[in-house]
């Protein structure tokens, strides 16, 4: 479905944009949170049933999750547990939520368990950056009013600092800085935040970058 939407952009994006706005599909980014983050990775890796007719130029995974555990991965299986395994031609940003691997109850699974969360996703990236919002849980970036079932899901995840506005602003700022570096050739904010994470509204730790070639973005 995601690939179909991406292909739809080729012939339909310009039709729905205001007349004074020109779409540029040479600068196409995909992103997602949780299982959506895993889906974004699958799309970028070409693990899809139809041919992708557009080129992805940037990938952002926000606390991506690949399953309940290493032995219970969701389809398709994209984690191979091999460093730098992902065959991506562009760097990727991975944003982790530091408390996602903790359980609210001893018998309950974590919302973003070890071995299937952002840590392994970044380990398998060849280049890019990883930022971790240390004091927030897996659902911290979602809207305040989620509806009945989503609210129950939030209760089952460790919250940590429950100031969602700060979490959302931090994640949004990181994404904008990354896309400015990637698409607008303005890496100033990206470099500033990687070299001085204290500029962020909340604690970011650890911050890691790795590069292939001459850039990490």
DSSP bridge pairs for 62 = 33, 95
Q: How far, in Å, are 124, 132, 180, 194, 214 from residue 184 at the CA level? A: 26, 24, 5, 18, 17
Which of the following is catalytic: 31, 33, 127, 138? 138
Q: How far, in Å, are 40, 46, 147, 210 from residue 79 at the CA level? A: 13, 14, 32, 19
Active-site residue, 63 included: yes
Which of the following is catalytic: 31, 33, 63, 135? 63
CB 156 within 8 A of CB 111: yes
**Residue 207 backbone phi and psi in degrees, to 5:** -110, 125
Q: Torsion over CA of 143, 2, 56 and 123, rounded to 10 degrees?
A: 70
Which of the following is catalytic: 33, 34, 127, 135? 34
The CA R_g of the chain, rounded to the nearest whole Å, is: 17
Active-site residue, 34 included: yes
Q: Which residues are catalytic?
A: 34, 63, 138
């Amino acid at each position: 479905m995601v690939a179909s939407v991406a292909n739809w952009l080729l012939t339909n994006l310009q039709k729905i944009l205001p007349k004074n706005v020109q779409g540029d599909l040479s600068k196409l980014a995909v992103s997602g949170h949780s299982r959506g983050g895993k889906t974004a990775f699958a799309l970028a890796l070409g693990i899809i049933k139809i041919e992708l007719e557009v080129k992805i130029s940037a990938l952002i995974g926000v606390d991506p999750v690949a399953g309940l555990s290493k032995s219970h991965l969701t389809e398709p299986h994209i984690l191979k547990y091999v460093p730098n395994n992902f065959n991506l031609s562009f760097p990727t940003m991975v944003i982790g939520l530091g408390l996602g691997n903790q359980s609210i109850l001893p018998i309950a699974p974590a919302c973003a368990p070890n071995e299937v969360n952002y840590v392994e996703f970044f380990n398998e990236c060849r280049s890019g950056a990883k930022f971790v919002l240390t004091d927030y849980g897996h659902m911290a970036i979602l809207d305040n009013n989620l509806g009945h079932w989503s609210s129950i899901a939030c209760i089952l995840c460790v919250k940590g600092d429950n100031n969602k506005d700060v979490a959302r602003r931090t994640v949004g700022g990181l994404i904008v800085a990354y896309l400015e570096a990637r698409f607008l050739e303005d890496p100033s904010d990206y470099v500033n935040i990687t070299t001085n994470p204290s500029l962020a509204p909340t604690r970011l730790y650890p911050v890691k970058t790795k590069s292939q070639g001459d850039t990490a973005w």
